[in-house]
Amino acid sequence: MKHLLTIAFLWLLAAPAFSQSPFPKNELSVNAFRNPSIGLEYHRQQVSVHAGYYTTAFKSGEYTNFVKTGLTYWVFPVDKKKIPSSFYAGASYLRGLTRDYKDKNAAGIEAGFRWMIWQGLNVRIGAIALMAKGQDTKFNPTPGLGYSFAF
């Protein structure tokens, strides 16, 4: 599974190299729920950087919290909106705040889809593979809710 995610990530990075970007030059997203984190994200055409608070449940009812920052690459827009709905792949650094990950460094690789519902309102659905020394690799869904401003 880890190799499949790596191959998909590399493919998503290479695919748009031959096409013209329909993404806005600059975009700022306020993310209110989980994906990529509860925080801010700045987009420069097809690349974005994010930082914020990330919480996930590896077991039902047991939440593990992190500080999360990373890069995302946006590909394959599916509509012609000012900010198009599109697929994404990204990599993140996480610092554990609670439970088995407290004060531990972790890395995340994720992929998914962001649907622009209305104006800047958007939802995301994706999955993350979270890896940390001394821990098994964890795979989790990553839903998200946010609002984006193009400028």
**What's the pLDDT tens digit per position in 56-86?**
999 999 999 999 999 999 999 999 999 999 9
Q: What is the pTM of this model?
A: 0.85
Residue that the structure tokens 């460094």 belong to: 105
Candidates 19, 74, 18; CA nearest to 46 is 74
Report the pLDDT value the prediction gives residue 21, as an integer from 0 to 100: 74
By three-state DSSP, how is residue 143 classified?
Answer: coil
pLDDT tens profile 9-37: 566 555 555 556 799 999 999 999 999 99
pLDDT tens profile 112-145: 999 999 999 999 999 999 999 999 999 999 999 9
The domains found in the chain, sorted by start residue, are 2-150 (2.40.160.20)
